[in-house]
Amino acid sequence: MRKRVVVTGIGCVTPLGTDTDTLWDNLIHGRSSVRKITLFDATNFPTQIASEVHGWSPANCGLDPEEWNGRGRHTRFAVGAAKQAVDDSGILNHVAPERLGVYLGCGEGHQDFMTFTNMMVAALTEDGLDMDSFIRAGLAQLDPMEELEQEPNMPPAYVAAMFDAQGPNANCLTACAASSQAIGEAVEILRDGDADAMIAGGSHSMIHPFGVTGFNLLTALSIRNDEPERASRPFDLHRDGFVIGEGGSMIVLEELEHAKARGANIYGEILGYGTTADAFRITDTHPEGRGAIRCIQMALADAGVNTDQIDYINAHGTSTSVNDKVESLAIRHVFGAGADTVPVSSTKSMMGHLIAAAGATELIICLLTLRNGILPPTINYETPDPDCDLDYIPNRAREKNCRIALNNSFGFGGQNICLVVGKYTH
């Protein structure tokens, strides 16, 4: 029999709540965290709205601000969420350092737009950009430590050092699927017996000029700037793109017998993990949902459950025209007639898209849904789209006793990750 893996700690730093209690309260009351961008001057950008983390400091988690404020924004979110999750689990006194690992899905940190702009200005001539001058300006102006701190591998390095986690350590960056993949891969490490506990999740912040510019050029972001709280509207006919968010979410995963032996509080069990690729286009989902369909099927098979056992689906639901249509198609293909009765919601409607951190955040939401028996809604769902014909739990939370939930994460590049999580049963 393969080893069973359970969740014994959760933590989050998100725009909708910088602890899990606040996050949950805002979710079930259908509140939005989308506002005008404050992290940079977005006045002249097509998109001027985002879902930012406000009013949070590492000090809120008992960490020294002087030590962490110079780190990348993604690192601060990661260590803050990890500190919450590890404290919540109580794991540190019950696992040998070499048996505790870290597997994260973290994106890059804040990009130094102003320094890069100054370098460009310094190197411009009447004939265009002089590369020798550009290189000299870079050597003179770039801070090597700042460049190091923004790398995606820094959060797992800091998290490992913080908790003396000497076991397996990795970071994967598969776009919007990253932190879900990190959780799935951490589960496999525990199933294989290569660790007793893993800190898993992700963090990201792309709310900077480079990030917003890139997504604007792809026409992927909402430009509903006059109505920020109504901008993220997954599955609605009048959706016009996603809202970019930021944050970090972490869980502690533990081999079941190890957790039972120490009397740990168990939030739920990771039952299944599926991973596929569309092998299609970099920024377009396959129109027939072939990768998403196989990924859902793989996760269900790994979990050993049928579609009629799924009580709730937390959809990827980005509020883009293509994603929402194809994801709905994929769910209907896999669930057949049962697709009409399984409730589906996109919590991105309230907090926007946390990119690499999205999947871990949404898995925590699934765990809280199982524990509390309340399904979070899809807010801003006003006009049905004929191509999106499922039960999206519109606008109001719904009570339901849930035993098993499915969490979908589909990333740019065609990476697909699905996780099945259930209530822990002896």
β-strand partners of 314: 345, 407
Q: Residues 6 or more apart from 365 whose CB is under 8 A from it?
A: 23, 24, 27, 314, 347, 376
pLDDT tens by residue, 407-419: 999 998 889 999 9
As a whole number, mean pLDDT of residues 156-160 equals: 96
Is 113 or 330 the better-scoring residue by pLDDT? 330
**Percent above pLDDT 90 for the chain:** 81
Mean pLDDT of 233-245: 98
At 122, is the pLDDT very low, low, confident or very high (cuts 50, 70, 90)?
A: confident
Whether 283 shows a pLDDT value over 80: the answer reads no
Mean pLDDT, residues 382-403: 97
Q: What mean pLDDT is predicted for residues 120-132? A: 78
CA gap 2, 302 in Å, rounded: 11
pLDDT value for 116: 63
pLDDT tens-digit profile of 345-384?
A: 999 999 999 999 999 999 999 999 999 999 999 999 999 9
Under 8 Å CB-to-CB from 104, ≥6 apart: which residues?
A: 78, 155, 156, 159, 170, 171, 172, 179, 182, 199, 200, 201, 202, 203, 250
pLDDT, average across residues 240-258: 97
List the catalytic residues. 176, 316, 353
| DSSP secondary structure of 186-215 | HHHHHHTTS-SEEEEEEEEE--SHHHHHHH
For residue 10, count other CB atoms closer than 10 A to its CB: 25
Residue 28 has pLDDT above 90, yes or no: yes
CA distances from 374 to 264, 339, 345, 420 (A): 24, 19, 12, 18
- Positive or negative, the Cα torsion across 356, 423, 271, 345? negative
pLDDT score at 147: 67
Percent residues over pLDDT 70 in the chain: 96
Q: Give the whole-angstrom CA distance, residue 423 versus residue 269.
A: 6
pLDDT at position 142, please?
66
Does position 113 have pLDDT exceeding 70, yes or no?
no
3 state SS of 292: helix
Provide the whole-model pTM.
0.93
| pLDDT the model gives residue 111 | 63
301 has pLDDT over 90: yes
Q: Is the pLDDT of residue 103 over 80?
A: yes
Whether the CB-CB separation of 202 and 179 falls below 8 Å is answered with yes
Amino acid at 152: P
Residue 315 has what pLDDT? 98
d(CA 10, CA 32) in angstroms, rounded, equals: 22
Pick the range with the lowest mean pLDDT from 44-53, 69-78, 85-94. Answer: 69-78
Helix (H) or strand (E) holding 259: helix 256-261
Question: For residue 348, what pLDDT is reported?
Answer: 98
Q: Biggest alpha carbon distance in the chain?
A: 74
Give the residue extent of every domain in the chain. Answer: 5-110+150-422, 113-149
pLDDT at 114 (0 to 100): 64
CATH code for 5-110+150-422?
Answer: 3.40.47.10
Question: Under 8 Å CB-to-CB from 194, ≥6 apart: which residues?
Answer: 101, 167, 168
Taking residues 137-153, what's their average pLDDT? Answer: 73
Q: Is residue 189 over pLDDT 70?
A: yes
Which whole number is the average pLDDT over 398-412?
96
Give the pLDDT band (50/70/90) at residue 144.
low
DSSP character at residue 330: H
**Which pair of structure tokens corresponds to residue 58?**
């590492």
**Burial grade of 350 (CB within 10 A; 0-12, 13-18, 19 or more):** buried
Count CB atoms within 10 A of the CB of residue 336.
Answer: 10
Residue type, 244: I
